[in-house]
Structure 1
Amino acid sequence: MKLSVTFICLLATFSFIAKAENDPPKKKKRGSYLIELPASLNNSNDSAKTIAPLAAAIEVPFKPSIQVGAIVHMFASGEQTGFGAPGNDKTAKDWNKGFSVYRARVLVGGQLTKKASFFMETEIPSPIGIQSNGEKNVKVSPIILDAQLEYTFTNAFQLVAGMQLVSNNRNGLQGAAGLMANDFTYFQYPYNLFANSPLQGNFGRDLGINARGFLANDKLEYRLGVFTGRNVDGGAPLRTVGRVAYNFLDAEKDYYYAGTKLGNGKTLAWAAGFDAQANYYNLSTDVFFDHPLGNAGSITVNAAFQYMTGGTNIDSKYSFATLIPKQTVQFLELGYYFKKTKLQPWIRYENQDVSASAEQAGAVKPVNFDKNNSSSVMGGGLNYFFNGTGTNLRLSYTTRTYNVATATADEYTKKTFGQLWLQAQFFIF
């Protein structure tokens, strides 16, 4: 009797197994979708190859996303009196010392649809700490720095609308977190920095619409936009800014350019651009090279040249003749990143050479008008990257040289002022 019961149980078990092997596979649930897996996948060595196109064919519903970050630059500094604007004393021995929060930005970005995204950024309008007049400032209300909406029609055509960074050269379009030197250059957008500047900018930003796209396998990038520029009565002509860049090696698709890439990738980019409104125009060209060099690390070279003028038509309602004198600007940065020690020494040179016409200098051009308005910058430093552009420490010494009048009529002497920074950065986004 016991043997018969045992035999019946075994027979039932084998029948269940046989039925299971012959049954079609069950539907497996993934998220909110049911995926029918073919029976052939059970014994196939190419299961992964077969499943991949099936998974790719599944349409996942789009969900808007948001991202929040911050960038802070804080430093201890020493700066000689006259570094920002020279006086008439020849000694330049007095040093202003102190601690400052130079940048404190909150970044918010997000994907609104599959093709639409937005970006917003705040900024403190002046450093927290010792000001240029020697007074201490400890309370600063933030302002809106960037507020832009981007829509991608195709890879070759995108539109960016709102308050955005505007420049015809690379350094003027770099992100603050990716700088190689301690700060932006002095002359890359000298007339677009503040509301009282000739182009009435906001830390290099302006309001408008910018088209951008990539061609030739993403090697060729173009930017072309129209912006408000200088406008005091609502009837001013629009400001037009354009730029074309060709990448001979790796493509660059970030909206804000990097000032150094710390050996990540190989970049050789050449570009040319223009910036114009009414009788003002600015023509520029720039070259950027970032590439591994030797086993130790990588080299970064960033160079630019600009020619700009406010024109000579002083009768125009929106004349820039007396606001922006004719000038050329040369710029060079050179650095080397040691990947093992995470150190990067760098040097920088800038020169602003003014050669104004008589109309730009007034009814009668002063003898030394050009010298009064020309200056140059030399500097260098050492960066230590704890975590790339996320967290780093920068030590720099920069000098600025002016032509300063002497007691003798129409004679000038060069005067140099120094600035020492020890800057800490943290950035997350």
Structure 2
Amino acid sequence: MKSAILIITLSSLSFIAKAENDPPIKNKKKKGSYLIELPASLNTDSTTASVSLPDIDVPFKPSIQLGAIVHMFVSGEQSGFSAPSNDKSAKDWNKGFSLYRARVLVGGQLTKKASFFMETEIPSPIGIQSNGEKNVKVAPIILDAQLEYTFSNAFQLIAGMQLVSNNRNGLQGAAGLMANDFTYFQYPYNLFANSPLQGNFGRDLGINARGFLANDKLEYRLGVFTGRNIDGGAPLRTVGRLAYNFLDAEKDFYYAGTKLGKGKTLAWAVGFDEQANYVNYSTDVFFDHPLGNAGSITANAAFQYMSGGTDLSSKYSFATLIPKQTVQYLELGYYFKGPKLQPWIRYENQAIKSEPEQAGSIKPSSFDKVNSSSVMGGGLNYFFNGTGTNLRLSYTTRTYNVATAPDDYTKKTFGQLWLQAQFFIF
């Protein structure tokens, strides 16, 4: 006689593979069941039967998770890509190898409702810099350090150093980008300590509320942050975002830039970012959906209006720091699931339309031309293992208005070529 096989299934615990950024599973008090396979010799209509188990208390144990993300590339970049000029040397190509990102990720569950996340970063690439010098030794910095407490699905609080933005691209995870890097203009004033908003690679210190309503279709984010503060008395920076998902819900803290055919997403959002007389209003649309038998399409578009205002009397004024402008952005790609290839294109445009108070001693029309620019590019991604391991080849151009004489400008375009490898685990 075959020996009986006892299979224990606990319906409360899901060990199904979860999204890479999901928090660890939280232990809960649930009821389970036994599934018993009976010997075939027994005269029954079925060879299986089930019996109920009593409620089981599973004690909570704190957990921790480690990971890393690395971007390294070989590149060629014309000197004028970052510092445009009419000098002939601006067309010269700088070549070299760079370690662009090297992050260590640490996360964990502290209690059934509290979790934390920390992340380090190198503050500048290791390799050839934009000035042509070689940088070989960089001390890491703390990039993220946040504590999250989940009161309910509709209300969570995240406190600490965290990614801050009112638009989708500014809230994407670096591992899930479709293009080779983040956009140039989606949060251009929040990148460094000497930026107008005194950010840290898009991060800021503060507290953020987040939640999901309407069957997880509607997501809100609303937070207050330090922003620019020169004497401890500055008004707080307020950032908000409201997104509606018409198809699948999105609950990851960091948005994906492409989903490689996994799921169906159509999300539309509006957002704002304000401090003192600085305002930033935005709207964005993201679409990721299977298209045909070959694979899936990804489209990501956004529009922003920004201004530092015209009040020059306040010591907290942004008037001379952030000129009035609009930003348009579009990414479009298609993932071929068979060969695991994804071609993509990107377009961005930063159109400065400054007020006289913002341009200072420069005529506004001249100020606008010098500070406006656009970016176009495209590339091809190969995914060995999704976002875990991939290779990206890209060519990007940036176009400026370069002065040739007083009130006379000509458009100059400079190129950048990257071959980037990524590995990511968390």
TM-score between both structures, scaled by the size of structure 1:
0.88
C-alpha deviation, 1:160, in angstroms: 0.2
1:93 deviates by 2.6
Aligned counterparts of 2:340 and 2:325: Cα–Cα separation in 1: 38
* 1:149 equivalent in alignment to 2:147: yes
Mapped partners of 1:414, 1:119: distance in 2: 45
Task: Give the structure 1 partner of residue 13 of structure 2.
Answer: none
Q: Does 1:404 align with 2:411?
A: no
Of the three residues 212, 217, 221, the one matched with 2:215 is 217
Distance 2:173 2:332 in 1: 18
- What are the Cα deviations for residues 227-248 of structure 1, in whole angstroms up to 9, with x where unaligned? 0000010000000000000000
Q: Which amino acid aligns with 1:310?
A: G
Letter in 1 for 2:249: A
Identity, in percent, stands at 85
Cα distance in 2, alignment partners of residues 36 and 353 from structure 1: 61
| Whole-Å separation in 2 of the counterparts to 1:364 and 1:89 | 23
Letter in 2 for 1:128: I
- Residue of structure 2 in register with 1:329 after alignment: 327
Distance 2:90 2:133 in 1: 19
- Matched residue, 1:422: 419
Distance of 1:307 and 1:428 partners within structure 2: 36
1:423 aligned partner, one-letter code: Q
SS in 1 for 2:181: coil
Unaligned runs of 5+ in 1: 1-27
Structure 2 counterpart of 1:214, which letter? F
2:5 is aligned to none
Q: Deviations over 1:272-316 (max 9, x none)?
A: 000000000100000000000000000000000000000011111
Q: Find the aligned partners of 1:114 and 1:37 in 2 and give their Cα distance.
A: 24
Task: Give the Å deviation of 1:48.
Answer: 5.7
Q: Which amino acid aligns with 1:216?
A: A
Are residues 1:68 and 2:94 paired?
Answer: no
Match of 2:303 in 1: 305
Map 1:62-211; keep pairs closer than 5 Å: 62-89=60-87, 92-211=90-209
Q: Is the 8 A contact 1:90 1:415 kept in 2?
A: no
State whether residues 383 and 393 of structure 1, in contact with CA within 8 Å, keep that contact through their aligned partners in structure 2: yes
* Alpha-carbon distance in 1 for matches of 2:33, 2:418: 63
Shift in Å, 1:37: 9.9
Q: Which amino acid aligns with 1:426?
A: F
Could you tell me which residue of structure 2 aligns to residue 7 of structure 1?
none
Q: Distance in 2 between matches of 1:90 and 1:334?
A: 34
User: 2: distance between equivalents of 1:242 and 1:80?
Assistant: 38
Aligned residue-pair number? 393
| 1:382 partner letter | L
2:84 partner amino acid: P
Counterpart residue type for residue 159 of structure 1: L
Structure 1, 201-210 or 313-322: larger mean CA deviation:
313-322
What amino acid maps onto 1:81 in structure 2?
Answer: S
* Alpha-carbon shift at residue 181 of structure 1 (Å): 0.2
Within the alignment, does 1:393 sit opposite 2:391 as a pair?
yes
SS at match of 2:81: coil
Distance in 2 (alpha carbons) for counterparts of 1:385 and 1:341: 9
The 2-side partners of 1:58 and 1:166 are apart by 41
**TM value normalised by structure 2:** 0.89
Q: 1:85 to 1:58 in 2, by over 3 A?
A: same
1: CA distance, partners of 2:387 / 2:225: 31
User: How far, CA to CA, are the matches of 2:298 and 2:133 in structure 1?
Assistant: 38
Segments of 4+ moved more than 2 angstroms: 35-38, 40-51, 90-93, 363-367
Q: Distance in 1 between matches of 2:266 and 2:362?
A: 46
SS of match in other structure, 1:330 = strand
1:86-129 CA-partner distances (Å, limit 9, x unpaired)? 12325743000000000000000000001000000000000000
User: Aligned partners of 1:47 and 1:212: how far apart in 2?
Assistant: 45
Distance in 2 (CA, whole Å) between partners of 1:208 and 1:345 is 38
**Alpha-carbon distance in structure 2 between the residues aligned to 1:415 and 1:48:** 76
Instruction: Give the match's secondary structure for 2:80.
Output: coil
The answer to whether 1:255 aligns with 2:264 is no
> Which residue identity is paired with 1:345?
P
Tell me, in whole angstroms, the C-alpha distance in 1 between the residues paired with 2:47 and 2:56. Answer: 20
